[in-house]
Structure 1
Amino acid sequence: MSDKREAARAQRPDEPDRASDGVAGSPQRNELAAQAIDLRYGDRVVIDGLDLVLPGNSVTAIVGPNACGKSTLLRGLTRLLRPSGGTVTLDGADIHRMSARTLALRMGLLPQQPITPEAITVEALVRLGRYPHQRLLRPWSATDQSAVEDALRRTGTTELRDQQVDRLSGGQRQRAWIALALAQDTDLLLLDEPTTFLDLRHQLDVLDLVADLHAEAGRTVVMVLHDLGQAARYADHLVVLHDGRLAAAGPPAEVLDAELVRTVFGVDCLVMPDPETGTPLVIPRSRTARLTAARA
């Protein structure tokens, strides 16, 4: 754990020691893993016998074509959807054997389409992120309010705090929900398509925020993204799904190539180093080039 994270914990004596949750006697690594998990809706199998390890202390991006199981996988990893087979563990402990509060103190989630409570303001929504930290007869504390203020500031929603969430634009609403996830103040954060509804500038703002949370606060982040270039630029670890199965996993530079993109996404492309970062940059071939290749 980083020095900044240790200092922050020293200033919060009223908070539980979350490092002791999970496997007794083991340090908190925030490693999320699936062992032969099956995820389904009724009779429809979406994820079939998947084995996967999401490394702790890193940023992981999950990518893949539409309807390949990305959001379903995230639901299964967060206990929103119980596997019909296999197990999901956090630092070796089965998440389905953890109490709801223990898991909420370890893991924060931004779902793909969260349901906004009626007539709730932005600040009131963000305050809900502090619920796992509350105790019976324990009043709202300065620590709680500080976490809310920090989440509002980081997401650029401070000036929106008194506005009703259901009256915001799609992008503003998305940032309010991200603020709630940040206020929960977990060391593991899972985001399902956090850049949805956002223009390019705000997409980059959110991804820069993810990078800062990892670099400055030592948080482990798992996020579902659609943009392969953004995933390669911001993630340490890439997970590629195809038809509910694992197509590839590893560092973006080792995983992402033209053959993988063609096989998984059905797109002919060039993959070359990003001129600024050196990370893989996916450039679809022109229509003319694609038609020529198809005729060959």
Structure 2
Amino acid sequence: MSAVPEAARRNELAARAVDLRYGDRVVIDGLDLVLPGDSVTAIVGPNACGKSTLLRGLTRLLRPSGGAVTLDGADIHRMSARALALRLGLLPQQPITPESITVEALVRLGRYPHQRLMRPWSATDQAAVEDALRRTGTAELRDQQVDRLSGGQRQRAWIALALAQDTELLLLDEPTTFLDLRHQLDVLDLVADLHAEARRTVVMVLHDLGQAARYADHLVVLHEGRLAAAGPPAEILDAALVRTVFGVDCLVMPDPETGTPLVIPRRRAARQVTAAHV
């Protein structure tokens, strides 16, 4: 078998027989998974199936109790913290906001991995901050304290920090949390633009199956800490999978606007009739 060209493996995250646990509780059990580079991947699944735990394992916030996580074939636990931070950015699900910090000061923290001893803040650093503020619509909030913002504004400020880090690989844990529908779509459109214009590789945890199918090139479906399915949404997302993983009877049909899979839950009466015949 010929070796995979380096360019084809750029920004490829992989879990190799990975176990992730909290104490004695196993959350991810023997997971083998490859997240392709140069793509947008959405991780979906029911509550408590291990989505956020998987993201923590992929970013070295949680060390596997078995197996290994690799980035372009290299074990991330053998990389320096700075080297990994220059390659991979993360927006956690519930980031802790430093007390009384302004939006711009928060976003400036994203430039920390790029700093060197005795190296002053540069025009490149400020340009990255300004671009992140502009892309997330937070420029007008730059002087406001983050802890006084609405939930949606606060979320956009944290996304701006992740963008200012300027990594080729960006991981987002439920980036649409606290956002109304318009701002959810704004964030997902931003993700699509980052991929299309800057070739950023993005991995994000989402709850909405329709949004995941519409915006992701690659879908990862988790169920009880194991991989239920992975691949292009149109190839793997069907009614049987939704029923098995989410316990919901539905119709899956092409979205009339995009042609991507659209999940339509059956009415309660229809679900009850279906259950009676199972």
TM normalised by structure 1 equals 0.90
> How big is each residue's C-alpha offset from its partner over 1:91-118, in whole Å with a ceiling of 9 and x where there is no partner?
0000000000000000000000000000
Deviations 1:206-264 (A, max 9, x none): 00000000000000000000000000000000000000000000000001000000000
Query: Alpha carbons of 1:98 and 1:283: their partners in 2 closer, same or farther (altered >3 Å)?
Result: same
Q: Is the CA contact 1:121–1:161 (under 8 Å) kept in the aligned structure 2?
A: yes
**Does 2:93 match 1:85?**
no
SS in 1 for 2:7: coil
Specify the SS of the correspondent of 2:133.
helix
Matched-pair identity in %: 90
CA distance in 2, matches of 1:269, 1:31: 33
Kindly tell me: are residues 126 and 47 of structure 1, through their superposed partners in 2, closer, same or farther at Cα, counting changes over 3 Å?
A: same
Would the aligned equivalents of 1:119 and 1:164 in 2 still touch at CA under 8 Å?
yes
Is the partner of 1:27 in helix, strand or coil?
Answer: helix
The 2-side partners of 1:55 and 1:34 are apart by 12
Change (3 A) 1:87 1:292: closer
Change in 2 beyond 3 A, CA 1:33/1:22: farther
Measured in 2, the distance between the counterparts of 1:194 and 1:258 equals 26
Question: Counterparts of 2:259 and 2:5 in 1: how far apart (Å)?
Answer: 41
Aligned residues, how many? 276
Structure 1 residues 292 and 224, CA, compared in 2 at 3 Å: closer, same or farther? closer
The separation in 1 between residues aligned to 2:107 and 2:4, in whole angstroms, is 30
Contact 1:22–1:93 (CA<8 Å) still a contact in 2? no
Q: Distance in 2 between matches of 1:157 and 1:95?
A: 32
Distance 2:226 2:5 in 1: 32
> What RMSD over aligned residues (CA atoms) do the two structures have, in Å?
2.3
Q: Deviations over 1:48-77 (max 9, x none)?
A: 000000000000000000000000000000
Cα distance in structure 2, aligned partners of 1:206 and 1:118: 25
Structure 1 residues 216 and 24, CA gap change in structure 2 (3 angstroms): closer
Distance 1:148 1:70, change over 3 A: same
SS at match of 1:26: helix
Deviation at 1:168, TM superposition (A): 0.4
Change in 2 beyond 3 A, CA 1:179/1:252: same
Question: Which secondary structure does the structure 2 equivalent of 1:179 belong to?
Answer: helix
Contact 1:240 1:249 in 2 (8 A): yes
In 2, distance between residues paired with 1:153 and 1:239? Answer: 31
> Residues 172 and 91 (structure 1 numbering): CA distance in 2 closer, same or farther, change over 3 Å?
same
Gaps of 5+ in 2: none
Q: Report if aligned partners of 1:119, 1:165 keep a CA contact under 8 Å in 2.
A: yes
Q: CA deviation at 1:287?
A: 1.2
CA displacement at 1:204 relative to structure 2 = 0.1
Shift of 1:23: 12
Cα deviations across residues 145-200 of structure 1 (Å, max 9, x unaligned)? 00000000000000000000000000000000000000000000000000000000
Q: What is the distance in 1 between the residues matched to 2:59 and 2:52?
A: 11
Return the alpha-carbon distance in structure 2 between the equivalents of residues 158 and 282 of structure 1: 36
Q: Structure 1 residues 195, 92: closer, same or farther in 2, change over 3 A?
A: same
Looking at structure 1, the residues matched to 153 and 168 of structure 2 have their Cα atoms a distance apart, in angstroms, of 24
1:294 is displaced (CA, Å) by 2.9
Matched, 1:293 2:266: no
1:293 positional shift: 4.4
